[in-house]
Structure 1
C-alpha cells in the first residue's frame, strides 16, 4: 500500500494543522500525474500526502543525479588537470579560477560544483585534507570524485539507489547502502539535495548527528518554500519536483527540527540560481524539465533570450543576499551541553 501522510503531523514542527493542500504535477519528465502536498500552517513545510508505492518510475536511468559518470566527466587527462586546479582553488585557495569553471565544466550539473565546494569550505574541513567526509545520497558520486581530486583523503559516498558501489580513481569510495547502515564516524556529513528525497528527514538527520566526531558538522543543501520563488509560482515552483521531493522543509521548520534533536543551525547561505525562474516559467508554459525545448536540455530551443536568463541570474543573486533564495546551504552542529555549575 502507498504510504499516506494525510493524518500525520508536520514532519518538521509536529503541528497537526495545515493551511492548504497543494496539487502539484510531475514536471521533470512530463508524466501526466498530479500529487497532493500538505502545507503546514505553522511553519510552512510541505509534505507529500501519499507517497507512491513504487518510486522507480520517477527515477529513470536518465535522472540527472545518477546519469553522470564522474570518471568520464572529469577523468580525461586534460580536463582532470584543469578541473583539479579549479576545484582545489575553490576548496583550499582564493577561488581565483572559479570564474572559468563554466568553460572547463560545461554541463549544468557540474557548473554548480564550485558553488557546492564553497558551501563545503564554509562548513569547514576541520582536519584539512585528512577530514573524514560522508556524502549522503551521493548519486553518481561526482562530489566524492571532486573532493578526492582536491586531495581530501577520506571521502565516502552512500546511496541506496545506486546500481553498485565502487572505488573511484581519486581515492573516494561509493557504497550502495542507507545512512542507517553506515559504520564509523565523520567530521563532515553532507546532504546535497538529498534530504528532501527521504520520507522522514528527522530520522535521517538524527542518524547523521549520531555519526559525527566531536566538533563535527552536518551540511544540508536543499530547496525551501521560504522563498520568493515559491511565493510567486506556488504549485509551478520547479523545486517542488513532485513526487521525488517528499518533504520540503521551510527555514523555521528546519530550525525547529534541529532543536528537537539537540542541534542548531550554525550558519546559512542562500545559493539559488536562475533555475528557480526559468524552470518554473517553463512549467507554466507546459515544458517539462527534460523536454528538448528546456534550458536544461537545449538552451537554443528554449523560449527565453540570453538577456532574460542573465536578468534572472542577477535577480537570484539579489534574493540570495536578502535570504529569499529558493535554496540554501545550512551548517548544523550539536548544541553543546551546558557545563553544570555547583554552589
Structure 2
C-alpha cells in the first residue's frame, strides 16, 4: 500500500486536468450542438479524485461523459478496479452471478440453429462463459478483454482461447471467425461505440448474432436516484445510449434486431446500491493509496461504526429491490438495463423487407 501511495500521489501531483480531453460541443452520436448538462458527480466507488460530467443531447437523447477521459485518464481510473487491489473483490462478485449469466445465454438460445463459436467481448475472468457453457453445450466460447482477465480465464478453462487487447484490432485480423458476439455491459465503456459495432459485424459470419446489454438511461431509476444510480458508474461509463438509438445504429451497420428485452436484462439492485453508495460516501474513507495518508485508528473505528449502523438501511433497500421493485420493474419503467439480440445480414441470409 505504501508503494502504491507513492506512485499515485506522484501521478496526482499536477492535478487531474491531464486525465481529460477537450470538452465536446457536439453530440458524438448524432452531431447535434443542442447539448445540456445531465449530471455532475464524483467517483463514488473508488473515491479517486476528480469531478465528472454527463451531458445529454436534446435531439437524440444520447448521454455521454463530457469532457471525456483521455487514454491516460482511463488508465488511471481503471487501475486497481478490475485488477490489482480490486481483482479479488470483483472476481468474487462476478463469480456469484451464475443465474444472471444463464439468463443471458437463455436469451440467445432461441436464435441459435446449431453448434456455434462465441466471442465474449469484455469477458473479465470468463465467468459468463463458464456458466453459459452449461446452458449451451454445443457452443465453444472465447473471451476478449483489455486486462489479463481473458488469459486467466483461458488458464482456468472457462474459455477455449483468451484474447488480450482491443476488439477493433482483433476484428481486423479475424474476419468472419464467429457465430455469436456478446457485449454484456461493455459498449458503455467504449470510447467509440460505432467502431465496436462495426467490429462485431466484421468478426461475425453472415447470419451470426450479436447480443448487447447496456444500462438504460431512460430508466425511471436514473431520475429518481440521481447521482446515486449505480449504472451512471462514473468515470467508467462514457456513453449511455437510448434503446431507439442503438436499434437504428445496428440497422445502419448491417444488423436486423431480433429481440429487445428489458425485464430480462434488469438487475434488481438499484435501491441497495444507492443506499450503499450514500452510506459509503458519508463514512470516513478506508485506506486507499490515492489518499495522502492512511486513516488512523479513530477514523477506522468511526467508519466501522457508520457502516454497522447502516446495515438496517441496506437490508430494507435489498428487500424492496427484491420484493417490490423487481416484479414491477417492467410495468413501471424501473428496469435499469436493456438487451438487444441482432442478426448480421449478408450473403446467405434473408433480410426482411
TM-score by length of 2: 0.73
* 1:15-26 map, 5 Å: 15-26=32-43
- Tell me the CA shift for residue 207 of structure 1: 0.8
Query: Gaps (5+ residues) in structure 1?
Result: 74-106
- Given that 2:133 and 2:141 are in contact with CA atoms closer than 8 Å, whether structure 1 keeps it comes out as yes
- Given that 1:159 and 1:175 are in contact with CA atoms closer than 8 Å, whether structure 2 keeps it comes out as yes
1:98-152 Cα deviation digits (max 9, x unpaired): xxxxxxxxx5423433223212222236254x31100011112222333345535
- Given that 2:272 and 2:317 are in contact with CA atoms closer than 8 Å, whether structure 1 keeps it comes out as no
Query: Gaps (5+ residues) in structure 2?
Result: 1-17, 287-301
- Tell me the CA shift for residue 223 of structure 1: 0.8
- Tell me the CA shift for residue 29 of structure 1: 1.0
1:320 to 314, 323, 330: 330
SS at match of 2:87: coil
2:125 to 118, 128, 140: 140
The 1:251/1:237 distance shift into structure 2, 3 A limit, reads same
**Is 1:49 equivalent to 2:59 in the alignment?**
no
- Given that 1:189 and 1:212 are in contact with CA atoms closer than 8 Å, whether structure 2 keeps it comes out as yes
The 1:164/1:305 distance shift into structure 2, 3 A limit, reads closer
SS at match of 2:313: coil
The 1:264/1:233 distance shift into structure 2, 3 A limit, reads farther
SS at match of 2:281: coil
SS at match of 1:287: helix
Q: Aligned equivalents of 2:282 and 2:344: distance in 1?
A: 40
SS at match of 1:4: coil
2:77 to 55, 58, 75: 58
Which deviates more from structure 2 when the two are superposed, residues 57-66 or residues 19-28? 57-66
Q: Aligned equivalents of 2:235 and 2:207: distance in 1?
A: 36
- Given that 2:124 and 2:150 are in contact with CA atoms closer than 8 Å, whether structure 1 keeps it comes out as no
* 1:85-234 map, 5 Å: 108-124=93-109, 126-128=112-114, 130-148=115-133, 151-162=137-148, 165=151, 167=154, 168-170=156-158, 172-182=160-170, 183-184=174-175, 185-234=177-226
The 1:171/1:50 distance shift into structure 2, 3 A limit, reads closer
Query: How much is the aligned-residue C-alpha RMSD, in angstroms?
Result: 3.4
1:215-241 Cα deviation digits (max 9, x unpaired): 211111111111011121233321111
- Tell me the CA shift for residue 15 of structure 1: 3.0
**Is 1:253 equivalent to 2:241 in the alignment?**
no
The alignment of Structure 1 onto Structure 2 pairs a total of residues equal to 300
**Is 1:278 equivalent to 2:272 in the alignment?**
yes
Q: Aligned equivalents of 1:158 and 1:338: distance in 2?
A: 30
**Is 1:27 equivalent to 2:44 in the alignment?**
yes
The 1:33/1:133 distance shift into structure 2, 3 A limit, reads same
- Tell me the CA shift for residue 283 of structure 1: 3.4
Whose Rg is larger? 2
Which deviates more from structure 2 when the two are superposed, residues 192-201 or residues 251-260? 251-260
The 1:339/1:241 distance shift into structure 2, 3 A limit, reads closer
SS at match of 2:209: strand
Which deviates more from structure 2 when the two are superposed, residues 58-67 or residues 304-313? 58-67
The 1:111/1:269 distance shift into structure 2, 3 A limit, reads farther
TM-score by length of 1: 0.75
